[in-house]
Amino acid sequence: MKIAIISEFQKQTVNYGNNLQAFALNHYLHMKYPYIEVDTLWFQNSSKKHITSFLGFLCSKTISCIRNVISSGHLRNKSGCINLQLVKSRLKAFEKFQKNITMCENGMTWKQLVNSNYDIYIVGSDVVWAQGHYYVNKIKFLKFTTNKKSKKIAYAASFGRNWIPKENVNYIKKCLKDFDMITLREASAVQMLKSYGINNAYHVLDPTLLISKDEWAKLENKPSDIVDAPFVFVYLLGEDKTQRESITAWGRQNNLQIITIPYANGLKKEYDLSFGDIKLNDCSPEEWIWLIHHADYVITDSFHGIVFSTIFEKRFFAVTRDYTIDINVRLTDFLETIKQKDKMISNCEFKSVEEYKWDYEKIYRIISEKRRISENFLKKAVALDTKKI
């Protein structure tokens, strides 16, 4: 049996959560089903022209804009530009980690995809079902036909928000009818699909939560710049300068070193030059894991930053992302799942540390039950179980 995993993973993506979730599902399937061939697929730029379904009429200027965004793989905004030198330097650390993921040797083309012969295509996890008005990613919705009758599975797929552009709804419903199993990373997305009449979607855990703390610890690597002293690891993808100032003041009040990854979203920002006592420019995924595992506190606006804090039973705070409410939905959804929504901090209004409680006995009871459900879905998917779930 052969399984293909399609996620947001690309070899050139310098994103910790993205690479770690790609490793997690790949590793889990290998670990549980060593007799099955598992490949994580990534795609060449030449396949980009095939990935988008345009729904209805769009002006040529809009189409051109969309294609530019898809081709670049990055969104630029008014407040910054991509720091290509930094991204290329950091990519070297990611390339080493990616050797842990079994994947297609070369990026696939659309022609290779439709001529592939996998028994199961699994889409997920991460924000694979992100979309814009009037367009969706055909590959990520498995809207392609191969010469072989294959199963289509969504595992912990995420829309990245709790709404779908109304122009896309009918097309999305058509795509999802072809799936043999639909599981979603956010419980709120399950309810969203129900509001559109799609009732066969279920909530499961992000694949990183299927891997034990001890397994993750085997991968970690201590950064050479770290000195032995209490520290808070701050991992921010948002661009709020005031937020950084508040965190700096909080760290000083609690006698903590502040360790940061500057320009974590690839955008060059001057205020990141002075943010943090130790700045790790070329932090590898293995070092990122170590930092969360050994931090006294973690402050992050990243979904996977929160997830790994939970895996390693850390005292963590989730801060709101400043430029979009969509990412905050992902954070609050997971915090609600583990009953820790009080750890979401708006405007960096921290209370005294003593006022917070991280009850990991309670959290792990919730995660253990969710893990059991999640593993059962994957077991049925791998067994090609055609019975109604």
Distance between CA 73 and CA 71 in Å, rounded?
A: 6
User: Which domains are seen in the chain, by residue range?
Assistant: 2-211+369-382 (3.40.50), 216-358 (3.40.50.2000)
What is the full per-residue pLDDT of the chain (389 aa) written as tens digits? Answer: 899 999 989 888 889 999 999 999 999 999 999 999 999 999 876 555 555 554 543 444 443 443 444 333 343 444 455 566 666 778 889 999 999 999 988 888 999 999 999 999 999 888 999 888 878 899 999 999 988 889 999 999 999 888 899 999 999 999 999 999 999 999 999 999 999 999 999 999 999 999 999 999 999 999 998 888 999 999 999 888 888 999 999 999 999 999 999 988 877 778 888 899 999 988 999 999 999 999 999 999 999 999 999 999 999 999 987 655 566 888 999 999 999 999 998 777 777 777 789 999 999 999 999 999 999 999 999 885 444 44
Is the pTM higher than 0.85? The answer reads: yes
- Tally of helices (H runs) and strands (E runs) in the chain: 12, 14
CA-angle at 211, arms to 215 and 43, nearest 5°: 110
Helix ranges (DSSP H) in 220-320: 241-253, 285-294, 303-311
> Per the structure block, which two tokens stand in for 194?
């129900």
